[in-house]
């Protein structure tokens, strides 16, 4: 793990991350600056660029974590839909966006990267949310 | 498989699809109307809404196909980056967008759903592309 670390990569040189859950291969971060309550990021620790750079075992692992985060967010926040994406055009270090979506959010039904449709709804997270999400992810991972 | 079929769902009632590869559980489609040469869609045949609705075996299978498509597109088209996303806000039937991205495409480095940055580059697919992609996917799946 961490065989390679790229000097100017924000995921190789993390700063100010809120880590909700982690293991030796990947970590789950809370994304707080996006205006989408509950937005999480699943970051592969090693600097690889594409999903297809992982071998089968690692791919199954990261997707197991992504699915556990998705299931936990659905359970805690009851979104209308979940969005999952690995883009990385700006930061080519494998990471998954896991985003709860609501009919009244700023961009619904469009992707969060499209033009906004309306003002963001005032949606707040439950009390003790990070601890609850961590527990839910651990439970979903079994 | 196909335990449920939803009447007004375009993926339950396909019409005019170019199917590049398929098995009993999912199919790979060519997306030709998006202005992004090589854009593929991996559609789960059964009508499920979220990735986390699949059990582990099915999740590993669909991601194995997504990774095989990604690897094949990288090999055939040499894109600068691959983008992979499961959104489904408009069509809540599990499907993955697998999109080759280029520095000179209309939206790079932004997601394809954001505002365009420039005119689309004139990029064409190799001759006999669909057959080549099918062969590459079969090879990647082993």
Q: What is the pLDDT along chain B (142 residues), one digit of tens a residue?
A: 445 789 899 999 999 999 999 999 999 999 987 789 999 999 999 999 999 999 999 999 999 999 999 999 999 999 999 999 999 999 999 999 999 999 999 999 999 999 999 998 888 898 999 999 999 999 999 9
The model's pTM is 0.96
Q: How far apart are CA A74 and CA B53, in angstroms?
A: 11
Alpha carbon distances (Å) from A5 to A20, A71, B107: 22, 31, 28
Q: Considering only CB atoms, which chain B residues are within 8 Å of A88?
A: 81, 83
CA of A64 vs chain B CAs: smallest distance (Å): 8
- Rounded to two decimals, the ipTM of the complex is 0.95
Token representation of residue B59: 């999740």
Q: Which two tokens stand for residue A134?
A: 């961590």
Q: Which of B30, B36, B38 is nearest to B105 (CA)?
A: B36
Is A105's Cβ below 8 Å from some Cβ in B?
A: no
């Amino acid at each position: 793990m961490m065989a390679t670390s790229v000097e100017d990569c924000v995921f190789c040189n993390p700063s100010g991350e809120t880590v909700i859950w982690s293991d030796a291969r990947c970590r789950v971060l809370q994304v707080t600056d996006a205006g989408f309550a509950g937005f999480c990021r699943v970051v592969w620790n090693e600097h690889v660029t594409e999903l297809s750079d992982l071998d089968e075992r690692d791919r199954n692992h990261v997707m197991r974590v992504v699915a556990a985060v998705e299931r936990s967010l659905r359970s805690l926040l009851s979104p209308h839909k979940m969005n999952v994406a690995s883009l990385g055009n700006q930061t080519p270090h494998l990471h998954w966006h896991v985003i709860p979506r609501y009919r009244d959010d700023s961009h619904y039904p469009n992707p969060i990267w499209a033009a906004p449709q309306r003002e963001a709804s005032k949606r707040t997270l439950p009390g003790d949310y990070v601890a609850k999400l961590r527990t839910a992810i651990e439970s979903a991972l079994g």
